[in-house]
Structures are given as structure tokens and as C-alpha cells.
A and B are shown apart, each in its own frame.
Chain A
Amino acid sequence: MNPNDYLSAALLITGAVFFLAGTLGLLRFPDVYTRLHALTKADNVGLGLMVVGLAVQAESWSVVGKLLLIWWLVLIAGASVAHLIASGALQRGIRMWKP
């Protein structure tokens, strides 16, 4: 293993930890708003770390570009869909959880 491999392994594992935290939040948080928060926040950073980890291994710059494009599309789609779900839930009168 050369230094690049260690770097991408570290990035991928950190990304996986974010995904794990996001999934845990999705399953364990009390209401739809907090679950969305856990899901989108963690997945955006987790996927970003995975993309960077894979980009380190990429053979050409065009592959790096495609990976970054995937991340950008997921960021846009994730943020927009989270907003739509949250505003839909508000319209239906789902109350926010209070501790």
C-alpha cells in the first residue's frame, strides 16, 4: 500500500462513519424533522468524504469531474427533497418534537 491508499482508506472509513451516524439518526430520532436533519447532514458529508477518497484513486481528471458531479447532484437533490418533505410535513400539521 502506498500513501495514496492510506489516504483514501482513511477518507472512505470516515465517510462510512458519517453514513452510520446518519442511519442511526434516521432510525432513532424522535420525529420527521430531526430524522431529515440527521439523514441529509450526515449523508452529504459522508458522500463527500467517499467521493474525495475515490478521487484520490482516480486514473484521470475526467473521472474526478464525474465523481464531483455526482456529489453536487446528490447535495442539490438531497437538500431540495429534505426541504420538500419538511414543508409537506409542516403543512399536514405534524408538530415538532419537544424534549
Chain B
Amino acid sequence: MTLLTWIFDSLLGLSLLWLAWRALACPNLFKAIVLFVAFGLLMALAWVRLAAPDVALAEAAIGAGLTGALLMAALAKLHPTEAHNDFAVPPEKNVTKVWSWQWLPAITILLVTTGLGYVVLSLPPYATGLSTEVAANLEISGASNPVTAVLLNFRGYDTLLEIVVLLLALLGVWSLNSADLDHKAAPGIVLDTLARLLTPIFILVAAYLLWVGAHAPGGAFQAGAVLGAAGVLLLLAGWRPRTGLMALPLRLVLVIGPAIFVIVAMLTLLIAGQMLEYPPTQAGALILILETAATVSIGVTLAALFLGGDPRKNNRNKNHT
């Protein structure tokens, strides 16, 4: 069996390297995105092989699924003359000119790779890291899944910042473009039916992932990604939220996750004297509240990213014209 798993792992690793290279070097951007999605799916498999199902879930849902959809949406907005891969091998006539500049980054990358390789090889072969400390404190953390305990309790600070990064990304997109909020007819009855059928299931799966995260792989980011996928599917099927919902209600939903996180952080700072240091008896309930709010915000943020633009700018333009 070990020989079989060894062959499988080697094939997986080589496929990952090959896909990564093809995704970067492919001159056709559509092909590059498809290769990137395939890379994400195999990467999720690699995380499973490394016994990290939480990361695998996040990689499959966000890395492969939603990022792929976002890249496709971006590609659809690119002008055909701009839609080429600048990283791909340049045409023959430019080769010599570009090559004279390429050796410098090549040497830098080679040095960095050598340094990283040296560091990785000089690591002790077996190290427990912080896993024993996590296991020792798991009981007071409020979650029996060590990954959730680390993400929402021991290193809650990191998760807070990650959620804020997502919000910042959306603000960046909003500052660049306005959203198209006109209702569209569904492109065919099949997509319409599929969206209607799958949306309730997506919401159910998101709730399940959120709930199960306390003691098994799952959690806010995975659940939020599934909610975001439901939003993407609805948007693809031509659904647009009512304009009344796009002003204040949307903004409230977008910030509720980060806002509750910040409120809890400040309260714990005032009461316990340490940011995000929960009292052990209430830790479980606090984590559930934080994760629920974060799931809703992450899901809506991802769907809003796919919509790609500030929904309010659209209204203003309409009023002017």
C-alpha cells in the first residue's frame, strides 16, 4: 500500500507543478483560468493527503470554485485586445529584448528558492509544533475541533484581520466600477431551475458546515464560501436583489461579521484585559455567534465581489440620466 500511496503522491505533486506552470504560461486567458481551477481542485486533494481537511474544504470552495468564478467574471469584462496573458512566452521578435531583462529576476528567484530549500531541509524531521499546547487548552477553548479553536480563539486576531481583508477587497472593487442591477431573463429554463433547486440546498449545507465546525472540519470560511456560491449561481441565473436592499441593508450585512468581531474584541479587552480572550464557560456560545455573523458577511461579500461594482453608483447614474 505504501508504494501505491507513494506513486499517487508523486503523480499528484508533479501534476500540481505542471498545472501551475501551464496556468502561468498559457497565452489564452480562458484556458489559463480553467487550468487554475483544475490546479485548485488537485491542491484540495493534496491538502486531504496532508490530513488537513479544513484547508482542503476552503481550497476547494474558495481557491477553486469562487476564485475561478471571479476570474471568469473579470475576463468577461476585459476588452478583447487586453485579454492576453503577459506572462506567457512573448512573440519571436521580442524574445531577445525581453530576455536581457529576464536574467535579473531569474537569479533573484533562484537565490530565494535556494534559501527556502535550505531552510526547509534544515528543519527537524519531526516536530510537534504547538499542537500539544493546543490539545492541552482545547477544553477551555469552546470548540472540540482544534482548527476552529485556533482560528476563533487562540488566534482569533488573525481571523478578524482576514475578514477585514475581504471587506477591503470589496471596497476596492466598488471604487473601480458600478454594478449592473438590471434584471435579466434567465438564460434558459435549465439554469433557472438549477438555481431554484440548489439555492435552498446551498443554504442548508452552509448552516451544516457552520454548525459542524465546532467539532469537525468546517467553519465560517467554508460555510461563507458555500453561501457565496449560492449568490453567484443566482446572479448567473439573472436574479438581482431589489434596489432598496442594495443601499443600507447590503452594507449592514457586509459589516455585521467584522463589526461583531470588533465589539467582542473590545469587550474582552475591557473585561478580561486581553483581546479576544473569552471566558471558558461562554467561549462556545461566543464562537458560534462570531462564526454565524462572519459566515453571513463572507457569503454576501463573495457574491458582491462577483457582481463586481458598487450597486449604488448604478442608481445615481440612472437618476441623472
A binds B: yes
> Taking the complex as formed, is B111 at the interface, i.e. its CB lies under 8 A from any CB of chain A?
no
- Least CB separation from A69: chain B residue: B201
- How far does the alpha carbon of A43 sit from the alpha carbon of B201 in the complex, in Å? 22
Chain A binder among B97-105, B188-196, B285-293: B188-196
- How far does the alpha carbon of A79 sit from the alpha carbon of B68 in the complex, in Å? 20
Within 8 Å by CB of A76, from B187, B188, B197, lies B197
- How far does the alpha carbon of A84 sit from the alpha carbon of B191 in the complex, in Å? 8
Give the size of the chain B interface in residues (CB under 8 angstroms).
Answer: 9
> Taking the complex as formed, is B110 at the interface, i.e. its CB lies under 8 A from any CB of chain A?
no
Q: Which of B182-218 contact A (CB under 8 A)?
A: 187-188, 190-191, 193-194, 197-198, 201
- Least CB separation from A82: chain B residue: B190
Q: CB distance B201 to A80 under 8 Å?
A: no
Chain A residues, CB < 8 A from B191: 80, 84
A interface, over-half SS: helix
Give the size of the chain A interface in residues (CB under 8 angstroms).
Answer: 7
Q: CB distance A87 to B188 under 8 Å?
A: yes
Q: CB distance A83 to B190 under 8 Å?
A: yes
Q: CB distance B190 to A84 under 8 Å?
A: yes
**A96 CB to nearest chain B CB (Å):** 19
Within 8 Å by CB of A84, from B188, B197, B198, B201, lies B188
Chain B residues, CB < 8 A from A73: 198, 201
- How far does the alpha carbon of A84 sit from the alpha carbon of B190 in the complex, in Å? 8
**B295 CB to nearest chain A CB (Å):** 21
Chain A residues, CB < 8 A from B190: 80, 83-84, 87
- Least CB separation from B201: chain A residue: A73
Chain B residues, CB < 8 A from A83: 188, 190
- Least CB separation from B236: chain A residue: A84
Chain B residues, CB < 8 A from A84: 187-188, 190-191
Chain B residues, CB < 8 A from A77: 194, 198
**B53 CB to nearest chain A CB (Å):** 14
Q: Which of A51-99 contact B (CB under 8 A)?
A: 73, 76-77, 80, 83-84, 87
**B316 CB to nearest chain A CB (Å):** 34
Chain A residues, CB < 8 A from B187: 84
**B141 CB to nearest chain A CB (Å):** 27
- How far does the alpha carbon of A87 sit from the alpha carbon of B186 in the complex, in Å? 14
- Least CB separation from A88: chain B residue: B187
Q: Taking each of A76, A77, A80, A83, which has the highest tally of chain B beta carbons within 10 Å of its own beta carbon?
A: A80
Task: Identify the B interface with A (CB < 8 A).
Answer: 187-188, 190-191, 193-194, 197-198, 201
A-B contact pairs, 14 of them (CB 8 A): A73-B201, A76-B194, A76-B198, A77-B194, A80-B190, A80-B193, A80-B194, A83-B188, A83-B190, A84-B187, A84-B188, A84-B190, A87-B188, A87-B190
Which 7 pairs across A and B sit closest by C-beta, in order of nearness?
A80-B194, A83-B190, A80-B190, A84-B191, A87-B188, A84-B190, A76-B197
